[in-house]
Amino acid sequence: MTAELTKPYEEKMKKTIAVLESDYATIRAGRANPHVLDKIMVDYYGTPTPVNQVGNVTVPEARLIQIQPWDTSTLKAIEKAINMSDLGINPNNDGKVIRLVFPELTEERRKELNKDVKKKAETAKVAIRNIRRDGMDAFKKMEKKKEITEDDLKNLEDETQKLTDKFIADIDKKCDEKCKDILAV
């Protein structure tokens, strides 16, 4: 019984982890990663469209991303979108493709990115704890309405706490991995 009652909260916690992972994928760690472009939207004939849907995004070298638009008339729009983003890289447009050259990260920039990674981890932990609180509140209401016994309430609270601990440990692990990735020269 406890498993089916805690399932929705576990699902929400899994979604929180997925959001954290996608956020981490967009943080560049000195190497070219096409996911840094995921949040950049290009004005494609009046419609905001992700970069990877207006052209072919490749990583020909460790520090280079190449965007080859399917329609060359969108080169300027892609270039503008990249310049307006917080990516911090100037695109090189040769009339056919756009190249993004990723410079070595400075020590200062690495420390900034590390802080950002830790801040995102902390936000995810807060979200997990909020989900736990919502679950605990729901279980207490059920116990008050006599839908579950006091023992069931205790089991549900224990199970929810175990889930919370597991997901918070997962967040810490992902944060440590990303920090090591950023600090690796």
Q: What CATH code is carried by the domain that includes residue 42?
A: 3.30.1360.40
Angle at CA of residue 20, ends 62 and 179, nearest 5°: 50
Q: Which of the listed residues 101, 125, 147 is the one where a domain comes to its end? A: 101
**Count of domains in the chain?**
2
Q: Which two tokens stand for residue 36?
A: 């840094």
What integer pLDDT is reported at residue 65 of this predicted model? Answer: 87
- The whole-model pTM stands at 0.70
Asked whether the beta carbons of 75 and 93 are under 8 A apart, the reply is yes
Q: 80 and 51 in one domain?
A: yes
Q: 63 and 89 in one domain?
A: yes
Question: Comparing 151 with 28, which gets the higher pLDDT?
Answer: 151
Grouping H, G, I as helix, E, B as strand and the rest as coil, residue 20 is helix
Q: Which of the listed residues 101, 122, 145 is the one where a domain comes to its end? A: 101
Q: What is the pLDDT of residues 18-63, one digit of tens each?
A: 999 888 877 766 667 777 787 888 888 888 888 888 888 888 887 7
Q: 43 and 9 in one domain?
A: no
Q: Say how far apart CA 143 and CA 125 lie, in whole Å.
A: 27
Q: 110 and 172 in one domain?
A: yes
Angle at CA of residue 167, ends 148 and 138, nearest 5°: 25
Residue type, 25: A
Query: Using N-to-C axis directions, what is the helix angle for 107-144 and 150-183, rounded to 10°?
Result: 170
Q: Which domain holds residue 92?
A: 34-101
What integer pLDDT is reported at residue 183 of this predicted model? Answer: 79
Q: Provide, rounded to the nearest whole percent, the portion of the chain with pLDDT above 90.
A: 32
Q: 174 and 110 in one domain?
A: yes
Q: Say how far apart CA 72 and CA 55 lie, in whole Å.
A: 9
Q: Give me the CATH number covering residue 143.
A: 1.10.132.20
Greatest CA separation for the chain: 70
Q: What is the pLDDT of residues 63-80, one digit of tens each?
A: 788 989 888 888 888 888
What integer pLDDT is reported at residue 63 of this predicted model? Answer: 79
Q: 95 and 163 in one domain?
A: no
Average pLDDT value over all residues in the chain = 86
